[in-house]
Amino acid sequence: MTQDTDTHTENPAAGADDLAIDPWGSSTIEDYRSLFEEFGIEAFDEVLPDVPSPHYLMRRAIIFGHRDYRRVVEAMAADEPFAALSGFMPTGDPHIGHKLVRDELIWHQRRGGDTYALIADLEAHSARGLSWMEIDEHAEDYLLSLLAFGFDPEEGTIYRQSTNLRLQDLAFELGIEANFSEFEAIYGFSGETDVSHMQSVVTQAADILYPQLDEPKPTVIPVGPDQDPHIRLTRDLAARMRAFGVTRAYASFEAEADERELIAAAHAALSAEAGGADDLVRCVEAANWLEREVEPSETREAAITKLEAAGKEPVRPRVRFLVRNAPDGAFEALIEAIDGEKRVFDEHVDAYEMDKDQAEELARAVEVEHGGFGFVPPSSIYHRFMTGLTGGKMSSSVPASHISLLDDPEDGYDKVRAATTGGRETAEEQRDLGGRPDQCPVYELYAYLLAGDDDAYAETIYDECAGGERLCGGCKTEAAEAMEDTLADHQQRREEMRDVLADLDVDLDTQRP
């Protein structure tokens, strides 16, 4: 992925043919690596060293991927405004798997992020067919757990989609930029898909951009990778709403990002030969250089054709502002605001004395001044799904596979005791060969939840298991006891939060059939 991707319109469905992610399906993610290759999710490792005191879910690589999270990390480190938002679809009991997103939100909130948690009730009603009565009940349960885990409702914002008019207005605006063919390609929607389901998609896009309604800012959306199609779509819709696009350019013609890279390389090499004087390199010379120095490819041929057509025009690096969705008067104001040498064309203006970051900042400021949103492309982080206690997927509809946060603590104990493990057939074998913590749902319970922030404890369990010193019976009892305590504590905190919830401005009594 090049640096310029947010400045031109990508097809968010690109790559979706080979591997589809269905946010409403039950697809398990078999191979997390394919998410990197097929969809351009980046490995979390790459930003981890720059995250200030990372959460244990980050340290343990349970959060494994991201899009554009660096933006948020930089804002966090520089004490600049940033936001975090995620949503919960109230379709069943909140379970321990949902705790990941709550923890991620709360962590960002404690680091100063403007934090939002929403109840995706329109989605639950339209895509899952739940009644409003069921939705209200589950919504209350989700929110009590969120508060019990430490979300601060004074600092943060909680809303439900169905009663948030500002959100729905934004969804309507975003809907103008989206069309059915795109939904078909991304989500596999067909002529049979109901309109409200489609509406829930633009509503989710509006959720994702909601933190930026008052002011554009880096925003992270912590989710499971099944939600990535929504992230890609929203990043694209956000770009389409922008008044101007900003790209680098080297001559008067338009070039694609990969062509620009080649032209930049030709320019760098030739101007170095010419002693650094920028305007001595002509387009034809750059074409000849590419012909000589670069392996043939479609990109190379396209760049050469464009350069040859431009002939003797000098190659000069510049930033280009392209008019996109600019309100009246905004283009003129932008031209006016550009310092130094510039060249104005019909639908774009080139500036020669600023870098791309300065240009982006200027474009956003002019847009916002003219009543635009100036959206920063939303970032995301992705966590692995917990394996079900019975192996396979942790699913709300298979009670034995998950532990509900509302389960009787003793049932929680029993479910852990009955869980599948990565242990061997016999104790002897386990002592000889060691257990397989990487394939053990019980080890996952420790790593995701029970060991909390205590890395040393998690590592000890791992090492003892893999080294054959730990046997499953005792290990499960230890986990089962911890689970029982966790549930009992959590449920007590939930009760304490009832008053807090009642005081919040969230209506949990929908008067609809």
Any contact of residue 422 with ligand SF4 (CB under 6 A)?
Answer: yes
Three-state helix/strand/coil letters over 186-222: HHCCCCCCCHHHHHHHHHHHHHHHHHHCCCCCCEEEE
Q: How far is the CB of 449 from ligand SF4 (least distance, A)?
A: 14
Q: Residue 89: name its binding partner from ligand TRP, ligand SF4, none (Cβ under 5 to 8 Å by kind).
A: ligand TRP
Q: How far is the CB of 267 from ligand TRP (least distance, A)?
A: 42
Any contact of residue 423 with ligand SF4 (CB under 6 A)?
Answer: yes
Q: How far is the CB of 414 from ligand SF4 (least distance, A)?
A: 15
Mention every residue, 6+ apart, whose C-beta is less than 8 A from residue 366: 243, 244, 330, 333, 334, 337
Length of the chain: 513
Which of 402, 470, 490, 494 touches ligand SF4 by CB under 6 A? 470
- Strand 219-223's sheet: what is its strand order? 42-43, 63-67, 379-383, 219-223, 83-88, 114-119, 157-160
Q: How far is the CB of 206 from ligand TRP (least distance, A)?
A: 9
Return phi, psi of residue 299, to 5°.
Answer: -60, -45
| Dist CA 76 CA 56 (whole Å) | 18
Q: Residue 86: name its binding partner from ligand TRP, ligand SF4, none (Cβ under 5 to 8 Å by kind).
A: ligand TRP
Any contact of residue 401 with ligand SF4 (CB under 6 A)?
Answer: no
Any contact of residue 415 with ligand SF4 (CB under 6 A)?
Answer: no
Nearer Cβ to ligand SF4 (129/473) = 473
Amino acid letter, 166: R
Three-state helix/strand/coil letters over 100-132: HHHHHHHHHHHCCCEEEEEECHHHHHHHCCCCH
Interaxial angle between packed helices 165-177 and 228-241, expressed in degrees from 0 to 180 and rounded to the nearest 10: 80
User: Residue 483 is inside which H or E element, if any?
Assistant: helix 472-496
Q: Which ranges in 274-382 belong to alpha helices (H)?
A: 283-293, 298-310, 330-337, 356-369
Any contact of residue 164 with ligand SF4 (CB under 6 A)?
Answer: no
- Bridge-based pairing of strands 114-119 and 318-323 is unpaired
Q: What is the dihedral of CA 6, 9, 12, 16, to 10 degrees?
A: -110
Amino acid letter, 489: D
Q: Residue 465: name its binding partner from ligand TRP, ligand SF4, none (Cβ under 5 to 8 Å by kind).
A: ligand SF4
Span of 13-21, 188-196, 319-327, 435-443 interacting with ligand SF4 by CB under 6 A? 435-443
Nearer Cβ to ligand TRP (237/319) = 237
Q: Residue 207: name its binding partner from ligand TRP, ligand SF4, none (Cβ under 5 to 8 Å by kind).
A: ligand TRP
Nearer Cβ to ligand TRP (167/281) = 167
Any contact of residue 421 with ligand SF4 (CB under 6 A)?
Answer: yes
Closest CA to 243 of 173, 338, 324, 360: 324
The binding site for ligand TRP (CB under 6 A) comprises 23, 85-87, 89, 118, 120, 123, 204, 207-208, 221, 223, 227
- Total residues contacting ligand SF4 by CB under 6 A comes to 14
Any contact of residue 386 with ligand SF4 (CB under 6 A)?
Answer: no
Q: Are 26 and 226 in contact (CB under 8 A)?
A: no
Q: How far is the CB of 27 from ligand TRP (least distance, A)?
A: 13
Which residue carries 């008044």 as its tokens?
243
Any contact of residue 146 with ligand SF4 (CB under 6 A)?
Answer: no
Q: How far is the CB of 313 from ligand TRP (least distance, A)?
A: 46
Nearer Cβ to ligand SF4 (344/433) = 433
> Under the rule (CB under 6 A), what is the footprint of ligand SF4?
421-423, 435-437, 440, 442-443, 465, 470, 472, 475-476
